[in-house]
A and B are shown apart, each in its own frame.
Chain A
Amino acid sequence: KQEVTQIPAALSVPEGENLVLNCSFTDSAIYNLQWFRQDPGKGLTSLLLIQSSQREQTSGRLNASLDKSSGRSTLYIAASQPGDSATYLCAVTGTASKLTFGTGTRLQVTL
């Protein structure tokens, strides 16, 4: 059974810092990996999707990498801003298009 782990569970950084969020998964037979953002009490917003054949994806200040063989992904956020404060979830798509989620990293960017 696929298991997804995210480290750290919570992170607080001052504005302007670059930061890395980590995600690991146990079964490398995945179709893709998605990174989501969730604000308190809200739904999930898709940030980046990396297909299994890709190594990384970039969107603005966000860069996500994927090392399928080692079961790892990282989300890099450059020049963090208070508006980046949210919970970040990674999820992998396995068989039958089902997602398995990590438990998330709660990020706080302070002024």
Chain B
Amino acid sequence: DVKVTQSSRYLVKRTGEKVFLECVQDMDHENMFWYRQDPGLGLRLIYFSYDVKMKEKGDIPEGYSVSREKKERFSLILESASTNQTSMYLCASSSDRPLYEQYFGPGTRLTVT
């Protein structure tokens, strides 16, 4: 079974702090994704990566950056956390052609105070 793990289930940070969210997958997938999920807005793509050291902006990249130094690990970085970044953050990985099936981690509930 594919397993995607995220470093924390719950996280509380203060405004202005630098925040790291870590995601690890164990299926040698090429593609990895970071989403945030908010009530009424659904899931929105922040960043994704096709390969090590590759990254692409998603729909809402502002205020975030990412790092992919190893194939199995994809990190989301909030350079200076703000209250409007309070959200559920979901990481996913997927195989390449032909299926592109995405598998999700359990999520990190981040609260910025």
> Taking beta carbons and an 8 Å cutoff, which residues of A are in contact with B?
31-32, 34, 36, 41-46, 49, 51, 89, 91, 93, 96-99, 101-104
Contacts and interface: CB of A to CB of B under 8 A. Distances in A.
Mostly helix, strand, loop or mixed at chain B's interface?
strand
Contacts of B62: none
Interface stretch (B63-71, B77-85, B93-101): B93-101
A42 B107 contact: yes
Contact of B102 (A41, A42, A46, A96): A46
A43 B90 contact: yes
Between B92, B102, B109, the greatest number of chain A beta carbons within 10 A of the residue's beta carbon is seen for: B102
A53 to B, nearest CB: 9
Interface residues of B, number: 25
B104 A45 contact: yes
Given A41-B109, A42-B106, A43-B107, A101 B101 contact: no
Contact of B42 (A43, A45, A97, A102): A102
Q: Which 9 A-B pairs have the closest CB atoms?
A: A44-B104, A43-B106, A43-B104, A101-B43, A43-B107, A97-B100, A93-B100, A103-B42, A49-B101
B58 interface: yes
A66 to B, nearest CB: 14
Contacts of B58: 98
Nearest to B43: A101
Contact of A49 (B56, B99, B104, B105): B99
Contacts of B107: 41-43
A44 B94 CA distance: 13
Nearest to B107: A43
